[in-house]
Structure 1
């Protein structure tokens, strides 16, 4: 777990934290990429070179290679064009944007530890839930309405931030549906690179280490 020193007991850690500062559990909800990213030019060049080399040493049938080349030059059908170049939205409330990247749900509203509006992940102050992950689930359920399309990755937090007035524990989860989120609150689906537009440097540094860069 990022940001928390290892101890003999996780429960002992939680109890000691609870005794000193309030605890906030945040749900980091992620939409996985819907389309693969095009390969890096170096990777693409290597694949092409490898294919030509196999052709030279006789591992690729010449006729098969010729047919593949003809298919590549043929104009794709309308349905294939849609698959190759899907329509993407520029609306940050839409899941149909940046389809080859991971997106994360953030909301803007009163945080559970401050009286001012700001951008944050769905989160809740820990009071009497069974554990911190249940607290994070409750925060996300309040926003989404239900968690039938959400999968939480493990029971341990993926990150921890020690703030002056509270402790925040991050729990990663995945959105396993492509339907749009219907919510009255202000929210956005943003990429890892866009998080810097919404969070301060301290939190951003943790998120950059916690979230995958691919």
Structure 2
């Protein structure tokens, strides 16, 4: 097959690859387009507690309550006394709510999932990543270069499994990627081919601790903290990650 024919084939197949393509299709796209495909996992922990209400929203709710009070129905005093006398007993329950600020918050322990309980946390790894300048360790999401997996999502699952060891406490949101970035080689690393990085979303389910491996270091960070680790892609990640 000539080069022009291969390029035309790649253009026809690329729009159809949204996380459902077979291995044969993806192999043809990779070979024809001469681009590597990387599956990255945005692994997030959902908020544990309800976020604090915004002061503007709180003021509006207070105003709405007071406005409704002037139109509430007036009940007879005899009826109100009956409701007060019902359900009384000798029992007493002392309820003390758990603190919203944990010890991990106080010490800024970014390796713990017990921090920023009202925010979403995202897992970042420090180590060698595909496309890193001169092969130097850098911060990145769990990732894997697509090879022969049945689908691109299977490749993403394999990437996360290689880091945490077990997927029983994870949930992948959908089969299609949530976004992608096309990266061209820099002037200092012309030997590296251009590649496409597809992002898949996965969430933590019913656990607050993972044994993270295959990396030099790791952190659990909020969205604002995450953007500081990727200044070159901050604008794109800010739009892609909704929290």
TM-score range normalised by the length of the shorter chain: 0.7 to 0.9
| Residues 153 and 174, structure 1, Cα contact 8 Å, conserved in 2 | yes
Question: Using the alignment, how far apart are the partners of 2:116 and 2:16 within structure 1?
Answer: 41
Aligned 1:114-129 pairs, distance under 5 A: 114=132, 115-129=135-149
Question: Using the alignment, how far apart are the partners of 1:131 and 1:111 within structure 2?
Answer: 21
Q: Relative contact order: is structure 1 or structure 2 higher (C-alpha 8 Å, sep ≥ 6)? A: 1
How many equivalent residue pairs? Answer: 194
Q: What SS class does the counterpart of residue 193 from structure 1 fall into?
A: helix
Match of 1:107 in 2: 125
Specify every segment of 5 or more residues in structure 1 that has no aligned partner in the other structure, as ranges.
1-6, 68-75
| Residues 157 and 171, structure 1, Cα contact 8 Å, conserved in 2 | yes
Q: TM-score, normalised by structure 1?
A: 0.81
Specify every segment of 5 or more residues in structure 2 that has no aligned partner in the other structure, as ranges.
1-13, 85-92, 185-193
| Residues 100 and 117, structure 2, Cα contact 8 Å, conserved in 1 | no
Question: Using the alignment, how far apart are the partners of 1:80 and 1:157 within structure 2?
Answer: 43
Q: What SS class does the counterpart of residue 200 from structure 2 fall into?
A: strand
Change beyond 3 A, Cα 1:59–1:33 = farther
Match of 1:146 in 2: 166
How far residue 112 of structure 1 moved from its aligned partner, in angstroms, is 3.2
Q: TM-score, normalised by structure 2?
A: 0.72
Question: 1:51-95 deviations in whole A, cap 9, x for unaligned?
Answer: 1122221158797xxx9xxxxxxxx95x5232x535251200100
Which residue of 199, 207, 210 corresponds with 1:170?
199
- Kindly indicate whether residue 34 of structure 2 is the aligned counterpart of residue 29 of structure 1: no
The list of structure 1 runs, each at least 4 consecutive aligned residues, that deviate by more than 6 angstroms after superposition, is 60-63
Change beyond 3 A, Cα 1:59–1:22 = farther
Change beyond 3 A, Cα 1:104–1:15 = farther
Change beyond 3 A, Cα 1:53–1:14 = farther
**Larger of the two Rg values belongs to structure:** 2
